[in-house]
Structure 1
Amino acid sequence: MDVKNNILETIGNTPLVRLNKITRELPCAVYAKVEYFNPGNSTKDRMALKMVEVAEAEGKLKPGGTIIECTSGNTGLGLAMAAVIKGYKCIFSTTDKQSQSKMDILKALGAEVIVCPTNVEPEDPRSYYSVAARLAREIPNSFLMNQYDNLANRQAHVETTGPELWRQTDGKITHFVTTAGTGGTITGTAMYLKQMNPDIQIWAIDVFGSLLTKYHRTGEMDMNEVHPYISEGFGEDFIPKNYDMSVIDHFEQVTDRDGAIMARKLAREEALFCGYSSGSVLAGLMQQKDKLKKDDVVVVLLCDHGSRYVAKIYNDQWMAERGFFEVKTFRDVVSARGRKKLITIEPTQSVSEAVELMKKYDIEHIPVVKDGELVGSISESGLFQQVFQNPELKTARIDSVMDAPLPIVAQETAIEKLSTLISKEQGAVLAKDESGHYQIVTKYDVLQALA
């Protein structure tokens, strides 16, 4: 029978899947190493099992012992699975920015989870690094896995991920792109691939708020680079020992927003329901598209499954609260339509002059301006109604028939907000552009933008 002895034997040999829509503007083929096919739905299963096996072989993890680790969730899940099968206890420290679903999964596998503050220095006794180290000192027969400095982390990828990619691409891979966190995945995979072909490009995707990118470029560990960020599972505020920067060719930083949006695109356009870091990998690759050529074979590693982020990046309210949605603004509408000189009229001019302006420029709304100030507005529909009722108004002054001035908004006002400001009485809004000139957006412009 074709069976496995336990769930740990299913780790690895994940599929390589071609991306077809998101990357269609790129000149080359892009393939995704879909790591959520691992039993713990993450690439971290590989290194978690390897760290346990090495610790056992070295006598550091003994029967009935306790595994301790600081984790953003995925490594903990891999370790918890190994612990269930091998008979260990688990205690994990994590940060308060991790999704609740990750913590619930760890608890479901029998682990104890201690939540620590995110925005403290690594040396702070409250940090999840320090808490894990303290527990390892205090609890008898325990072992701190320390995924950051434990070289079994990267060795797992030297032995599995690298060879799998080489085999799956028939040795044609030219670029490997993944996020940079503990350093194990990118360094271990790179070490194997560079051994097979030193010309293979290794691109690390980092997040703004992490110091890894500047360290790679300058060798300087600049704590001024470090600030809070929302992205999960990658970026660091120190340099883990798993890194060998010499095998990484380029670091690229991605914003929290771009990573979240791209993850949602992966689900909608490629049916790949992935986590936050997977979106960041694709966003970082697209930022480097000008460096790719027709014959390149690019592999991106999609680290984990989207089920752990349902309450975050896949939650519309969460995205909206952080301004992460791809919303069109007044500026976008004007840019798409093209900037035009705003046609205005003075309050002393006649209604017939206004009608001629509307005919000449094929417009429906004209702001009324006096001494450079907006004092009113007129519309085609409003004039038609008044002139129809009283034809003599054609010779009347504009200030006798004008409506209130059109609403003035900021250029960054979302199109959804514009639609609430535009009404039957006021069918347009205004905003000043960078040069200080007013631009107008009408009901028709909004409808075109939403189409």
Structure 2
Amino acid sequence: MDIKNNILETIGNTPLIKLNKITRQLPATVVAKVDYFNPGNSIKDRMAVKMIEVAEKEGKLKPGGTIIECTSGNTGMGLALAACVKGYKCIFTTTDKQSKEKVDILKAVGAEVIVCPTNVEPDDPRSYYSVARRLAKEIPNSFHSNQYDNLANRLAHYETTGPEIWNQTDGKITHLVCTAGTGGTVTGTAMYLKEKNPNIKIWAIDVYGSLLTKFFRTGEVDMNEVHPYISEGFGEDFVPENYNMSVIDHFEQVTDRDGAVMARRLAKDEGLFCGYSAGSCLQGLMQIAASQPLTKDDLVVCIFHDHGSRYVAKIYNDQWMMERGFMDVKTCKDIINGRAAKQKLITIEPNHTVSQAVELMRKYDIEHIPVINGSGPVGAISESGLFQKIFSNPDIKNATIETVMEPAFPIVDFNTPIEKLRTLINKDNGAVLSKDELGNYHIVTKYDVILALGS
């Protein structure tokens, strides 16, 4: 029987999956090492367990101890899984730019999570680095795993990720592409692959706002390079000790927007629901390939670190993407502003009559009229609804609107994507209302949506 003794035995041996659509313009074969197949849904499971094993061997982590780490979420998950199996406590510090999902997941597996400000210097006492160091000094029988400077991080990838890629490609890999954060994955994997074949190119992907790229090119730690960025899980404002820049051939920077958009393309076009760094990794490859052409004999391996479930409120959320200018999506605002005639919304009051409503529909050639009183929308009148009622009772034309009106149209945000309106506009509800910045109501009908999607 093939039965694992615990969850930790399922770490590693993740698949290589060929990309077929996004990279079709490249002559090379491009495959992804999809490490969200690890039990903690990220590549960080590998190094988390390795750091604990080394600490145990060296006597730095004793039974009943507390593991302390500053993490963007994924390393914490790996450490927490190991702690569950081995009987340790966990306290993690993270930054306020990390997704809420990451924090909630860490809490779900028993960790205590302390959220620290992002936009402070690394040595600021409020930074998540500093808070972790302080806790490690204050809490008895604790171990600060320090993924940035703990060389067990890169050792894990030298021992597992590198050999797996080499064996899975039968040694035919020509390029490795990987986002660069703590340095463990890119350095450890590169060290192994370069030993096997020094001609393999290692391309590290960075983000604008990180100082790693300039350090690689000049050897200078330039804090002027550092500024806030949205991308998660890679990029640094210092140089971790896990780096061995001699095994890296090129650093490429990717914008927050391009990484996020590419991650969404991976999900839609390749069926790979990955995290932010995967999108940035592939975007970086496409940028480099434009200036360093690949050939049909090249085999490129991209490392996709984690799963998209940790970013559903961010890069996979249309509203979040639009607010940052990352996504061009038609909205209610676009429909309303795109109308040739800026006609004022036609409304009717509850005490008016059906015949008055019919006259408004005829005069303005409209099918839907919001019923509004002093407090706002209270109901709606539609041509189809009146059609049924008039056939049932021809004298209804003298009735007041409040006796025959339908439920009020839903009110949506002015920036609601058009795609979302299809769930709100249906056979029972022919329109929605939206309020602009000045507080004026506008109506969007099924016909408006059809026109917008067809343009």
1:129 aligned counterpart, secondary structure: helix
Which amino acid is the alignment partner of residue 259 of structure 1? Answer: G
Label 1:81 to 1:422 Cα distance change in 2 as closer, same or farther (>3 A): closer
Which amino acid is the alignment partner of residue 207 of structure 1? Answer: V
1:45 match: 45
After superposition, the C-alpha distances for 1:372-412 in whole angstroms (9 at most, x for unaligned) are xxxxxxxxxxxxxxxxxxxxxxxxxxxxxxxxxxxxxxxxx
Do the aligned residues in 2 keep the contact of 1:34 with 1:301 (CA within 8 Å)? yes
Which amino acid is the alignment partner of residue 168 of structure 2? Answer: Q
CA distance in structure 2 between the aligned counterparts of 1:156 and 1:135, rounded to whole angstroms: 26
Listed as ranges, the matches of 1:168-207 within 5 Å are 168-207=168-207
1:303 to 287, 302, 305: 305
CA distance in structure 1 between the aligned counterparts of 2:41 and 2:212, rounded to whole angstroms: 26
Deviation at 1:158, TM superposition (A): 0.3
- Percent of aligned pairs sharing the same letter: 77
Do the aligned residues in 2 keep the contact of 1:49 with 1:78 (CA within 8 Å)? yes
Listed as ranges, the matches of 1:247-266 within 5 Å are 247-266=247-266
288-297 or 307-316, which moves further after superposition?
288-297
Do the aligned residues in 2 keep the contact of 1:276 with 1:309 (CA within 8 Å)? yes
1:133 match: 133
Deviation at 1:42, TM superposition (A): 0.2
After superposition, the C-alpha distances for 1:143-199 in whole angstroms (9 at most, x for unaligned) are 100000000000000000000000000000000001000000000000000000000
TM-score (normalizing by structure 1): 0.74
Label 1:421 to 1:141 Cα distance change in 2 as closer, same or farther (>3 A): closer
Which amino acid is the alignment partner of residue 56 of structure 1? Answer: E
Which amino acid is the alignment partner of residue 297 of structure 1? Answer: L
Paired positions, count: 346
Do the aligned residues in 2 keep the contact of 1:261 with 1:326 (CA within 8 Å)? no
After superposition, the C-alpha distances for 1:314-345 in whole angstroms (9 at most, x for unaligned) are 01111111110046xxxxxxxxxxxxxxxxxx
Which amino acid is the alignment partner of residue 284 of structure 1? Answer: G
- Please, which runs of 5 or more residues in structure 1 have no aligned partner? 328-413, 427-446
Listed as ranges, the matches of 1:262-273 within 5 Å are 262-273=262-273
CA distance in structure 1 between the aligned counterparts of 2:338 and 2:107, rounded to whole angstroms: 51
CA distance in structure 2 between the aligned counterparts of 1:9 and 1:88, rounded to whole angstroms: 18
TM-score (normalizing by structure 2): 0.74
Label 1:425 to 1:115 Cα distance change in 2 as closer, same or farther (>3 A): closer
Deviation at 1:261, TM superposition (A): 0.4
Which amino acid is the alignment partner of residue 210 of structure 2? Answer: S
Query: CA-atom RMSD, angstroms?
Result: 1.8
1:171 aligned counterpart, secondary structure: coil
Which amino acid is the alignment partner of residue 171 of structure 1? Answer: G
CA distance in structure 1 between the aligned counterparts of 2:79 and 2:126, rounded to whole angstroms: 23
Which amino acid is the alignment partner of residue 122 of structure 1? Answer: P
2:316 match: 314
CA distance in structure 2 between the aligned counterparts of 1:61 and 1:276, rounded to whole angstroms: 32
CA distance in structure 1 between the aligned counterparts of 2:328 and 2:299, rounded to whole angstroms: 30
1:80 and 2:66 equivalent?
Answer: no
Listed as ranges, the matches of 1:225-240 within 5 Å are 225-240=225-240
Deviation at 1:449, TM superposition (A): 10
Listed as ranges, the matches of 1:273-422 within 5 Å are 273-290=273-290, 291=292, 292-326=294-328, 420-422=336-338
- Please, which runs of 5 or more residues in structure 2 have no aligned partner? 343-450
Do the aligned residues in 2 keep the contact of 1:94 with 1:114 (CA within 8 Å)? yes
CA distance in structure 2 between the aligned counterparts of 1:449 and 1:199, rounded to whole angstroms: 50
After superposition, the C-alpha distances for 1:32-56 in whole angstroms (9 at most, x for unaligned) are 0000000000000000000000000
1:99 and 2:90 equivalent?
Answer: no
1:293 aligned counterpart, secondary structure: coil
89-98 or 414-423, which moves further after superposition?
414-423
1:66 match: 66
Deviation at 1:293, TM superposition (A): 1.6
2:12 aligned counterpart, secondary structure: coil
Which amino acid is the alignment partner of residue 296 of structure 2? Answer: K
After superposition, the C-alpha distances for 1:96-128 in whole angstroms (9 at most, x for unaligned) are 000111011111111000000000000000000
2:83 aligned counterpart, secondary structure: helix
Deviation at 1:294, TM superposition (A): 1.7
Which amino acid is the alignment partner of residue 89 of structure 1? Answer: K
290-299 or 311-320, which moves further after superposition?
290-299
CA distance in structure 1 between the aligned counterparts of 2:288 and 2:11, rounded to whole angstroms: 31
CA distance in structure 1 between the aligned counterparts of 2:312 and 2:338, rounded to whole angstroms: 35
Do the aligned residues in 1 keep the contact of 2:322 with 2:328 (CA within 8 Å)? no
Which amino acid is the alignment partner of residue 88 of structure 2? Answer: Y
Do the aligned residues in 2 keep the contact of 1:44 with 1:75 (CA within 8 Å)? yes
Which amino acid is the alignment partner of residue 109 of structure 1? Answer: V
CA distance in structure 2 between the aligned counterparts of 1:178 and 1:196, rounded to whole angstroms: 18
Which amino acid is the alignment partner of residue 260 of structure 1? Answer: A
2:422 match: none
1:288 aligned counterpart, secondary structure: helix
Do the aligned residues in 2 keep the contact of 1:260 with 1:313 (CA within 8 Å)? yes
2:268 aligned counterpart, secondary structure: helix
Do the aligned residues in 2 keep the contact of 1:150 with 1:242 (CA within 8 Å)? yes
